[in-house]
Amino acid sequence: MANKLETIDVNLHYGDFHALKGISLAIPDHSVTALIGPSGCGKSTYLRLFNRMNDLIPNTKITGQVLMDGEDIYKIKSSKIDHLRRTVGMVFQKPNPFPKSIFENVAYGLRVNGISDNSFIENQVEKTLRQAVLWEEVKDKLKKSAFELSGGQQQRLCIARALAIEPTVILMDEPASALDPISTGKIEDLIFELKNQYTIIIVTHNMQQAGRVSDYTGFFYLGNLIEFDKTKKIFTSPSKRETENYITGRFG
Amino acid sequence: MRIRRFTEPVFESLIKICGYSSGFVVLLIIVFLFKEGISFFGSSPVEEGFTMYVHASNPVKDLSAAQIKDVFDQKITNWKALGGADQPIERFSLDELGEAFTEEQLGKDFEFLPKCIDSYMDSLPGSLAFFPSAQTDGKVKSAVPIKIDKITVGKFLSDTEWFPTSRPAARMGVMPLLLGTLLVSFFAIIIALPLGLAAAVYLAEIADERVRKFLKPVIELLAGIPSVVYGFFGLVVIVPLVQSTFNLPVGETALAGSIVLAIMALPTIITVSEDALRTTPRAMKEASLALGASQWQTIRKVVVPYASSGITAAAILGIGRAIGETMAALMVTGNSAIMPPTLLQPVRTIPATIAAELGEAPFGGLHFQALFALGCLLFIITLIISLLVERVSAKRIN
Ligand SMILES: Nc1ncnc2c1ncn2[C@@H]1O[C@H](COP(=O)(O)OP(=O)(O)OP(=O)(O)O)[C@@H](O)[C@H]1O
Ligand SMILES: [Mg+2]
């Protein structure tokens, strides 16, 4: 399988703080990769490399290469960044719907990308809301404000929103951390289903979840990538002591 | 410990007293304003101590202040126009009496004055007379006092002329002043809002931290400049500019006022809306950018809508500032109560009227009270504005 995403010796500094230390990692196409590690180890920072979200934070310095389909996404023209972000969807740690209606939240990505065909937008909204297992709950109140939804519903709305523009990569930063077990289960099913079409990277603190949904797992610690391998391998016979300590809960 | 137990209640009651007394003072001011303002209504527009008479046979029994002014301005010269018989109107007051009678006839202490008036009135069926009430009340048989409509709230608001010093009957219509104030203020906001919003967006979203750190205090500083300085600036820079740009006989116009007031309202609009824009959570902006929206689309579709109630509050506050502004308006608007007010002509605003006329209005007189009524009106307008601001900001919290 070809590598969809790859980082080569990436270092990231927030001002003086060295947050990512020489990370090299290749992520195969149409796979699910879980990033695990203790809080503050750089998982979110690493994830945000792929849609250049770290660019928005002043005083960040990035070295090394970040490749998508073999092309360095930090070498593209700044006018192409919007396009890059269109192909890399993101679901954030906390649900962050727009102060708009449920429908408009999902349609937003289509509209800002110049799509004005209303029947296409309507179809796409329904399709992605179904994918995110939210359609049945909201189909009668699409005009209502997204803020009226529960936290779990909002997170599934944000997933639908990310899917609507049909990216090729989906970045998920602890998408289920605010959800109940039932919603979490629904999202895990969804990830499983999406794997056929997308390349997914998911940050999670939940070891069972990483074990259930992912093909590959990377363990981060203090800005270093300690170990990256097939999920089965990481969870049954990790090659590094730190990894073993972390996944067995003997860590920190 | 001991002392603390002692001082704390003292401080508490001190603070309480301060709070109550300042609240009481504010209430007193409002009561005073309205007491003076309200006593204006129901009084007669005719100069105090004077009465107007017509010949006893004249079918016209009441007149309005507007009609009286027209008669004395000689715009109306025949009773027919006032619903009476077809005969010319003879205006008649103490001055004419001095010409018609000798001093002897009038008496040394004017003791024969009522008789003279009586006989003179009798000979003039078309007369409209204007005399001190003390000299004439009940003593003139040939004439009857004419009923003059009292000043009412409705008339005050709807009359289109402001001639508070015209004799014998003043015209105190607030319409040109009110429209002038609204015209100047709303046009000021039309200028200031887009500029202010653009500046706020620039500061909140585009400018880098160093530029912002420099610009923000400078803009806040602008809010502290005394309005007379803005007025002076307007007079020296804006007024000639308006005059030459539009080729006008005078540059002191509503437009000049709007521009100066817009400049004055800018700091408020910029600071308040910038604060509102900055409340947009970073997560929301990131969500928009992550979907491929450009920075401009994110500002337009997420940041500004999120801050819309704060921006509305900023606009209303700016209008409030413009409506209440006195000094600068007085200096650059030309101060003439033209009806209807237009942008390229001089206008007169309510606060400027109060400031300009209070000095020459006799204390406690009709004109004086009229200015207080203007003050009440202004108070009500600004009260409505503050209530609106409160409602809009309350919405933001929910
Ligand atoms: N904007 C920023 N400015 C400065 N330092 C930052 C910034 N964002 C993150 N960091 C630092 O970088 C390190 C990595 O942060 P990151 O958010 O990637 O951690 P994480 O692994 O996602 O943690 P968590 O599991 O708690 O989400 C942390 O030590 C954090 O303090
Ligand atoms: Mg994180």
Closest Cβ–Cβ partner in B281, B286, B302 for A56: B286
Q: Which atom of ligand 1 is found nearest the CA of A220?
A: 21
The pLDDT score that the predictor gives to residue B132 is 79
CA-based nearest distance A178→chain B, Å: 16
Is residue A148 assigned to a domain? yes
B59 close to A (CB below 8 A):
no
Mark yes or no for CB contact A85/B291 under 8 Å: yes
Burial class (CB in 10 A: 0-12, 13-18, 19+), A120: exposed
Rounded to the nearest 5°, which phi and psi values hold at B291?
Answer: -90, 5
Closest Cβ–Cβ partner in A82, A98, A158 for B292: A82
Which residues 278-307 in chain B show a CB within 8 A of chain A? 281-294, 297, 301-302, 305-306
Is residue A252 assigned to a domain? no
Give the closest residue to B176 by CA, choosing from B329, B337, B380, B66. Answer: B337
Q: How many helices (H) and strands (E) does chain B have?
A: 19, 8
pLDDT at B320 over 90: no
Q: Which fold has domain B50-150?
A: D-Maltodextrin-Binding Protein; domain 2 (3.40.190)
The pLDDT score that the predictor gives to residue A41 is 93
Mark yes or no for CB contact B286/A53 under 8 Å: yes
The pLDDT score that the predictor gives to residue B327 is 87
Rounded to the nearest 5°, which phi and psi values hold at B212?
Answer: -65, -45
Percent of chain B topping pLDDT 90? 41
* pTM score: 0.81
DSSP A145: B
* DSSP states along B89-101: -EEEEHHHHHHHS
CA atoms in the 13 A half-sphere facing the CB of B8: 5
Percent of chain A topping pLDDT 70? 98
Name the CA radius of gyration of chain A, rounded: 18
Q: Locate tokens 């997560």: which residue?
A: B283
In the chain, the amino acid numbered B51 is: T
Answer yes or no: is the C-beta of A49 below 6 A from any ligand 1 atom: no
Question: How does pLDDT run across A29-85, given as a tens digit for each residue?
Answer: 999 999 999 999 999 999 999 999 998 888 899 999 999 999 999 999 988 899 999
Which residues fall within 8 angstroms of residue A41, CB to CB, at 6 or more apart? A220, A221, A222, A223
Mark yes or no for CB contact A113/B292 under 8 Å: yes
Question: How does pLDDT run across B33-53, given as a tens digit for each residue?
Answer: 888 888 888 888 887 778 888
The pLDDT score that the predictor gives to residue B55 is 82
What residues are paired with A14 via a beta bridge? A17, A60
Over range B332-359, report the average pLDDT: 88
**Delimiting residues of CATH 1.10.3720.10 domain(s) in chain B:** 175-394
CB-CB contact of A33 with A201 (8 Å): yes
Give the closest residue to B360 by CA, choosing from B165, B226, B193, B176. Answer: B165
Mark yes or no for CB contact A112/B301 under 8 Å: yes
CA-based nearest distance A215→chain B, Å: 25
Question: How does pLDDT run across B247-295, given as a tens digit for each residue?
Answer: 988 889 999 999 999 999 999 999 999 999 999 999 999 999 999 999 9
- Domain span at residue A179? 3-247
Q: Which residue of A has its CA nearest to B302?
A: A98
Is residue A42 assigned to a domain? yes
Q: Locate tokens 């890399």: which residue?
A: A88
Is residue A51 assigned to a domain? yes
Answer yes or no: is the C-beta of A92 below 6 A from any ligand 1 atom: no
B48 close to A (CB below 8 A):
no
CATH number for position A108: 3.40.50.300
Q: Give the three-class secondary structure for B157.
A: helix
Rounded to the nearest 5°, which phi and psi values hold at A232?
Answer: -55, -45
In the chain, the amino acid numbered A30 is: H
Q: Which ligand is in closest contact with the Cα of A205?
A: 1
- Rounded Cα distance, B41 and B370, in Å: 9
- Rounded Cα distance, A241 and B302, in Å: 47
pLDDT at B398 over 60: no
Residue with the smallest CA separation from ligand 1 atom 26 is A39
CA B181 to chain centre: 6
ipTM (interface pTM)? 0.91
Lowest mean pLDDT across A93-97, A155-159, B3-7, B204-208: B3-7
Which residues fall within 8 angstroms of residue A78, CB to CB, at 6 or more apart? none
The pLDDT score that the predictor gives to residue B5 is 80
- Rounded Cα distance, A184 and A178, in Å: 9
- Rounded Cα distance, A186 and A129, in Å: 13
Name the CA radius of gyration of chain B, rounded: 29
The pLDDT score that the predictor gives to residue B1 is 64
Q: Which atom of ligand 1 is found nearest the CA of A37?
A: 21
Beta-carbon contacts below 8 Å between A and B: 69
Which residues fall within 8 angstroms of residue A79, CB to CB, at 6 or more apart? none
Residues in chain A: 252
CB-CB contact of B372 with B43 (8 Å): no
Give the closest residue to B161 by CA, choosing from B337, B394, B352. Answer: B337
Q: Which two tokens stand for residue A237?
A: 């016979």
Peptide bond connecting A97 to the previous residue in cis, omega within 30 degrees of 0? no
The band of B60, judged by pLDDT with boundaries at 50, 70 and 90, is: confident
CA atoms in the 13 A half-sphere facing the CB of B171: 21
Mark yes or no for CB contact A112/B284 under 8 Å: no
Q: Which two tokens stand for residue B156?
A: 């005050």
- Report the alpha-carbon angle A132-A135-A139, nearest 5: 155
Which residues fall within 8 angstroms of residue A45, CB to CB, at 6 or more apart? A12, A19, A20, A54
- Rounded Cα distance, B260 and B256, in Å: 6
CA atoms in the 13 A half-sphere facing the CB of B90: 16
Which residues fall within 8 angstroms of residue B176, CB to CB, at 6 or more apart? B160, B161, B162, B337, B338, B339, B340, B341, B347, B348
Number of domains in chain A: 1
**Delimiting residues of CATH 3.40.190.10 domain(s) in chain B:** 50-150
Q: Which of B291, B299, B395 would best serve as a mutation to test chain A binding (most A beta carbons within 10 A)? A: B291
CA-based nearest distance B364→chain A, Å: 56
CA of A237 to the centre of ligand 1 (A): 29
Residue with the smallest CA separation from ligand 1 atom 6 is A14
The band of A194, judged by pLDDT with boundaries at 50, 70 and 90, is: confident
Q: Which fold has domain B175-394?
A: MetI-like fold (1.10.3720)
CB-CB contact of A177 with A95 (8 Å): no
Closest Cβ–Cβ partner in B283, B294, B297 for A96: B283
